[in-house]
Amino acid sequence: MLFLIAYIGSVVLINFAFSSAPHLDVIWSAWGGLVFILRDMVQTRYGHGALLAMLAALVLSYVTSQPAIALASATAFFVSELIDWLVFSLTRRPLRDRLWLSSALSIPVDTLIFFGMIGALTPVVVGTAMASKFAGVTAVWLAMSWRARRGAALS
């Protein structure tokens, strides 16, 4: 339940932050990495229920953010969530690999759609957003790989 609340809250807060202080887009784009990790954790725990969590977050974003930010977020999340859902539904690889693969496919798409729609598609913002997202998912992948190796060694 903690990941679910953190995911919905992070989406709403980051959209509010982009609406309230767009000049700090590099900071908010760095925060985006957390949202992807939380989304993957929600997907892992709740499966298709992650789509309902995304819908709740986006409805709350429409209430608390500028409509253009909420629309860009909804569009980017819809496309990246569809990619994520396809990877999780169609592949049977270990969870850590599905997390990284889904992120490798969805992060660039999400980043380009969102920042393109809000007019902030600059190399610094896109680079920061992608670096933070890939750093976060890679850290999770490494932790899960280490845990799997440790578990195998103890068996």
For residues 114 and 83, the answer to whether their CB atoms sit within 8 Å is no
Contacts 24+ apart (CB under 8 A), 17-20: 18/65, 18/66, 18/69, 18/118, 19/64, 19/65, 19/66, 19/69
User: Average of pLDDT values for 106-135?
Assistant: 90
Give the model confidence (pLDDT) of 125-143 as tens digits.
Answer: 889 888 888 888 888 888 8
Would you kindly state where each structural domain of the chain is located, as residue ranges? Answer: 2-154
For the stretch 31-85, pLDDT in tens is 777 787 788 788 778 887 888 998 999 899 999 999 999 999 999 988 988 888 8
Mean pLDDT of 100-124: 91
CA angle 95, 57, 7 (to 5 degrees): 40
- How far apart CA 93 and CA 121 sit, in angstroms, is 34
